């Protein structure tokens, strides 16, 4: 299993460079850096001792384009739920032209895992899919089925649509606290 370090939006360019240098010996699968500044990310990537992943907060192909044009990331993280499956597939196709792999941004729950897994299965430049394995103890009750992971691989659901349904009775049993 590789180590992926996500430092979010917590630093500026200088700080990200220092973090990349500090983790050089960790042999990371990637260092995930969130920024909306494509030229700054490209500069960080040029000097980083490990692969750089980014872009999970971008919406649509136009926002991804400058990052791709500048080869600012080794892995473009695509939020399939925010962008939709069709737009996400188009983003992956654009990234593929630049020889850049993609990974879905996925931490919302089982339905989103099924949607992200579908994306992962249809794009040629898929790298890896994140999945939350810990959450509220009643989370599994919200769905007709839960993701099955076998030997590190998520098995695509086989039901209609996304292959998973929301259990509305269970959702109503856990209303949000106000």
pLDDT at res. 63: 98
pLDDT digits 0-9 by tens, 34-44: 999 999 999 99
pLDDT digits 0-9 by tens, 166-175: 999 999 998 8
Q: Quickly state the pLDDT bin for 133 (edges 50, 70, 90).
A: confident
Whole-angstrom distance, CA of residue 16 vs CA of residue 39 = 13
- Collapsed DSSP state (helix, strand, coil) of residue 89: helix
Residue bearing the bigger pLDDT, 47 or 152: 47
The 3-state DSSP composition of the chain as helix, strand, coil percent (nearest 5) reads: 40, 15, 45
Across residues 100-127, what is the average pLDDT? 94
pLDDT at res. 134: 76
Structure tokens at 96: 């593929």
Domains and CATH numbers, the chain: 4-134 (3.20.20.120)
Count Cβ atoms below 10 Å from residue 139 Cβ, excluding itself. Answer: 15
Whole-angstrom distance, CA of residue 121 vs CA of residue 38 = 28
């Amino acid at each position: 299993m590789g180590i992926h370090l996500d430092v979010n939006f917590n630093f500026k360019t200088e700080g990200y460079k220092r973090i990349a240098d500090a983790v050089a010996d960790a042999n990371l699968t990637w260092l995930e850096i969130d920024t909306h500044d494509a030229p700054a990310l490209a500069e960080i990537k040029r000097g980083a001792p490990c692969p750089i992943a980014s872009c999970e907060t971008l919406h649509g192909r136009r926002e991804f384009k400058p990052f791709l044009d500048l080869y600012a990331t080794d892995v473009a993280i695509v939020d399939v739920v925010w962008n939709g499956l069709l737009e996400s597939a188009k983003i992956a196709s654009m990234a593929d032209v630049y020889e850049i792999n993609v990974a879905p941004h996925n931490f919302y729950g089982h339905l989103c895992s099924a949607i992200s897994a579908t994306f992962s299965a249809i794009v040629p430049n898929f790298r890896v899919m994140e999945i939350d394995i810990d959450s509220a103890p009643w989370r599994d009750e919200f769905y007709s089925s839960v993701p099955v992971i076998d030997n590190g691989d998520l098995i695509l659901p086989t039901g209609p649509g996304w292959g998973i349904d929301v259990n509305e009775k269970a959702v109503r049993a856990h209303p949000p606290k106000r």
